[in-house]
Structure 1
Amino acid sequence: MNLVTLLPFIVLIGAMFLMTRSAKKKQQAAAQMRDHLVPGTGVRTIGGMYATVKEIGDDTLTLEVAPGVHAIYAKNAIGAVLEDAEYNRIVHGITDDPTSDTPVVPDDASSLTADAADEPAKTDLTKDQGEAPKPDLGKKDEAKGDAPQDGKTDGETDGKTDGEAGAK
């Protein structure tokens, strides 16, 4: 056989060997990372959720996803273990550098306008108007003498008894 015809197969086998070797190294590093977790560590799940490790079991972790809210996750669901500074920067917006020019994003939209805190809340009711008018929903109040909804007067019927088809 010719060496030129075997060369592509040799390159392919070598590439497959290198890819599986690097994949195994990554898997081992991830398993080692998960094995060295301790309660209080900030983590990011493979789904992108940030949480704090509360308890560690054999195959599961209890994560605090919000204050007082706990969820149980498989250890394999942990995508990254975060340093304390990085976790606080991402989750709480706390930076160690007080001279940082990174803007702080507010939790609500009320602080986005300059005069929102100075202005009192506006409502449709004032002291002079009293109670707000009730919205008209298209229903007539029969107790006040309005005509019934079916268009018939009080004594009028459609001539059908209860057992017949189309009776109300």
Structure 2
Amino acid sequence: MFNLLLPVIMIAALFMLFRSNKKRQEQSKEMRSAMEPGSGVRTIGGMYALVKAVNEETVELEVAPGVVAHYTKSAIAAVLDPQEYDAIINGRPEEEELAELDESEEETADEKPLSLDKSVSDKKDVSGSDGTDGETPATK
């Protein structure tokens, strides 16, 4: 019985493996077809750049202002949304993060502000009983 079941399991596993690889390839192809001049991308090496031109097999990426490099389309790991690209490149928080920051600012606005005034009466007296202000006497 086990001898008959093992080949069926192996065939099913291979089918699932090939199917997931095919799906992944299709998703990559769709993502790369969404590239157009002006969109932000991340390469497989982790570099962020702007697409300047899309050719048949290559992509021209502006890696720095005025610096354009040619990459194969397969070197593109992700095409980014304009807001996401701007947040990564310019260090601006995304809209969701901005909403969280606004909420935390509202919560802290209700709290009593800290005072740097030294005349506050609830401070501890750190002076020693001998009037030396807690300092150790200098040895002579």
Find the residue that maps to 1:47 and give its secondary structure.
Answer: coil
- Residue 92 of structure 1 corresponds to 90
**Is 1:6 paired with 2:10?**
no
Match for residue 68 of structure 1?
66
Partner residue in 1 for 2:37: 39
Separation in structure 2 between the aligned mates of residue 11 and residue 99 of structure 1, nearest angstrom: 50
* 2:21 corresponds to: 23
TM-score (norm 2): 0.66
| Deviation per residue, 1:105-149 (Å, 9 max, x gap) | xxxxxxxxxxxxxxxxxxxxxxxxxxxxxxxxxxxxxxxxxxxxx
How many residue pairs get aligned? The number is: 99
CA contact (8 A) 1:34 1:78 kept: yes
* More RCO (CA 8 Å, sep 6+): 2
Listed as ranges, the matches of 1:1-168 within 5 Å are 3-97=1-95, 98=98, 101=101
Structure showing greater radius of gyration is 1
SS in 2 for 1:7: helix
Counterpart in 1 of 2:104?
A: none
> Does the 8 Å contact 1:55/1:61 carry over to 2?
yes
- 1:78 & 1:22 partners in 2: Cα distance? 20
- Structure 1 contact 85–95 (Cα < 8 Å) conserved: no
Counterpart of 2:106 in structure 1 is none
Provide the C-alpha distance between the structure 2 equivalents of 1:48 and 1:54, rounded to a whole number of angstroms. Answer: 18
Q: CA deviation at 1:95?
A: 2.4
Query: Superposition RMSD on alpha carbons, in Å?
Result: 1.4
Counterpart of 2:35 in 1: which secondary structure?
coil
- Structure 2's unaligned 5+ residue stretches are 102-140
Q: Which runs of 5+ in 1 are unaligned?
A: 102-168
Q: SS of 2:32's equivalent?
A: helix
State the Cα distance separating 1:13 from its structure 2 match: 1.2
- Could you tell me how far 1:100 is from its partner in structure 2? 5.1
Q: Which has the higher helix share?
A: 2
% same residue: 46
CA drift at 1:53: 0.3
